[in-house]
Chains A and B, each alone.
Chain A
């Protein structure tokens, strides 16, 4: 089917462009696979909604911008995420809006000056690379899934899925679009290894109270923050290792704020599935999309502690936004 449904030629792959869907590849944690999938799951689902795809359809996740694509058939496309100039054959088009582009035209996404770091390009019908374990997402750490398990480079050819309905001339209403910033508030739930037995109340006040700067050495596997000497509620990790951040290895949930010695790292969708360091807090699923928009140069985070109930509410609000009610005609 994909053979007859068209090809998307990559003319410029940029810094890192990968095929991603949502929710990626859950269900394989016990075999050591993190789910991969869109780092900004809100933007991916929103651009799919605009072009009329099922929300989790495979699309392109673009890092920073500076990329180009050429479909060999007419296609309906939408770019959303970090603000950047988007052009079709040199003519600027609106973000968060679906456009009908002719066969052979070049779609270019320019550099995002910030705020925000990633853009998502959806094509009606989806990116039809083969599924691996039920998902088309690229798992960068495992070098599998997506297109040959890697970021796209100029000359790559991606199969497109068959279009069912052309859905050009639709856009995401302004009120439904995510707000980006350079200073982010990101909601997180305390634990699993926090107070009272691993970290002190003062440590948690620090975690949730101060601004954390994003380290340049960050990617889909993890967002590194700054070193900080926590007080710790215990003097050592005992048999698991000398440092009090050491524990006997256990699995990690996606979005864990993992304290490696003195260094907190947010585990991304391509991160390690297990390890021997405490997790002080876990980012609410409904807030995790913000992690995909952190610029690794100068962006700052303040974690806002929420209860599980509030975290679920945040996710419900997000899901509620991703409906036809948020779509308007151009």
Chain B
């Protein structure tokens, strides 16, 4: 790696070349110490550290806190997203949350990145996750069948056509690998990690309606590397995990998450079930999903009932009390830490795909 870097780094195509080229075209030369960071605000009170980065000439990426798996950062990002939508800031076209970030797209003729930094600092001032903050949320119940035929088919197809020696696909399933990587005793403990807690939808992305979900109970946390290379086929409704994040595949597609089973549709542009009328997406950022286990035969029946508009999704309006959640966390802190250490110890001795 060092040698290749030397070859490219030592070539004539360096900062000096960029400057000459820019000068020839009348553009401002970008200094060699240019940074993509526009602004940094250290943490203060309830507000985490805020780093604002330039994301092209029409967007800034606002990052909260450090690179760590801390749902409080996601609560902060969702609150900022909601506040921006509520109090129209001049020039803002839209915002979209990530796990600990917010991409704010703007019209450069109406505002600028530095004006946005100021506007956002006002938005941030009113967000305090520990003080009585609630986030709009719904509790959505979904059935899941584990180790079903479609999941096995996706893994078999991968073994036959893409890679036949992937450690994550040993035995024709991904669940054994998830267990091994996290120091869990068996498949049942993997299933338990998904079933035993409400899963928090941190944001929607990659594909329309695809939820990035995280366990609200940190005692159920699991991490796992993604496929390498990725799969070319995954069934609609497949449920998988990548990194610390669970996802549901909205349509039949390629994918890289380790698969555990299958649920019912969460997206339908053809609106074949009443739940999709006027909006083809089931889930929104801030929703919680509670999975319950069913046999494969029942799942297939429910899948058909969704399509024929006989199934009614169980959705409860249920705002999420952030302070209550944060107050609860310390009571399980020791168990959560133990779980994390178990995962990390197992991961250290498990091959990566």
A→B interface (CB under 8 Å): 26-33, 141-144, 149, 189-197, 201-202, 204-206, 208-210, 228-231, 238-242, 247-253, 255-256, 272-276, 279, 282-286, 304-312, 315
Contacts and interface: CB of A to CB of B under 8 A. Distances in A.
Given A32-B207, A275-B206, A312 B34 contact: no
Nearest to B74: A248
Interface in B280-310: 281, 284-285
B108 A312 contact: yes
Name the interface size band of chain B: 35 or more
A249 B30 contact: no
Nearest to A202: B9
A204 B103 CA distance: 22
Contacts of B28: 306-307, 309-310
Nearest to A274: B205
A253 to B, nearest CB: 4
B204 A239 contact: no
B44 interface: no
B222 interface: no
B352 A242 contact: yes
Given A191-B36, A273-B96, A209 B17 contact: yes
Contact of A251 (B101, B209, B269): B101
Given A190-B54, A205-B9, A31 B208 contact: yes
A250 B206 CA distance: 9
Contacts of B109: 312
Given A239-B223, A249-B212, 7 more contacts: A27-B93, A31-B281, A32-B208, A209-B11, A251-B102, A282-B54, A282-B56
Contacts, number: 227
A31 B209 contact: yes
Contact of B251 (A143, A242, A276): A143
A204 to B, nearest CB: 8
Given A30-B204, A201-B15, A253-B59, A248 B100 contact: yes
Contacts of B327: none
A255 B25 CA distance: 22
Contacts of A239: 67-69, 223, 243-244
B231 interface: no
Contacts of B108: 308, 312, 315
Interface in B1-55: 1, 4-5, 8-9, 11-15, 17-18, 21-22, 25, 27-28, 30, 32-37, 53-55
Contacts of A275: 205-206
B243 A308 contact: no
Contacts of B105: 26, 29, 253
A223 B324 CA distance: 46
A248 B212 CA distance: 11
B97 to A, nearest CB: 7
A176 B22 CA distance: 23
A246 B21 CA distance: 32
A286 B108 CA distance: 12
B58 interface: yes
B336 to A, nearest CB: 15
Nearest to A288: B56
Interface of B: 1, 4-5, 8-9, 11-15, 17-18, 21-22, 25, 27-28, 30, 32-37, 53-61, 63, 67-69, 81, 93-103, 105, 108-109, 113, 203-210, 212, 223, 225-226, 243-245, 251, 269, 281, 284-285, 352
A273 B5 contact: no
A27 B94 contact: yes
Given A192-B53, A242-B352, A32 B210 contact: yes
A196 B35 contact: yes
13 contacts: A29-B105, A31-B208, A32-B207, A191-B35, A194-B36, A208-B13, A209-B13, A209-B14, A239-B67, A239-B68, A239-B69, A272-B205, A276-B243
A202 B5 contact: yes
B168 to A, nearest CB: 14
B152 to A, nearest CB: 26
B112 to A, nearest CB: 8
B208 A272 contact: no
Contact of B56 (A228, A247, A285): A285
A241 B152 CA distance: 25
Given A31-B208, A308-B54, A250 B98 contact: yes
A251 B205 contact: yes
B240 to A, nearest CB: 14
A204 B244 CA distance: 30
A188 to B, nearest CB: 8
Contacts of A272: 205-207
A249 B285 CA distance: 14
Contact of B61 (A242, A250, A283): A250
Kindly list the 4 A-B residue pairs having the minimum CB-CB distance in the complex, ordered from nearest. A191-B36, A209-B13, A274-B205, A282-B56
B209 A32 contact: yes
B13 A206 contact: yes
B223 A30 contact: no
A3 to B, nearest CB: 23
A201 B32 contact: yes
B208 A193 contact: no
Contacts of B54: 189-192, 282, 308
B340 to A, nearest CB: 10
Contacts of B206: 32, 272-275
Contact of A305 (B4, B18, B243): B18
A142 B352 contact: no
Contacts of A32: 204-210, 281
A201 B95 CA distance: 30
A275 B34 CA distance: 25
A312 B111 CA distance: 12
A251 B97 contact: yes
B113 A250 contact: no
Given A193-B36, A239-B69, A312 B57 contact: yes
Contacts of B61: 191-192, 250-251, 253
Contacts of B251: 143
A311 B63 CA distance: 23
Contact of B18 (A143, A255, A304): A304
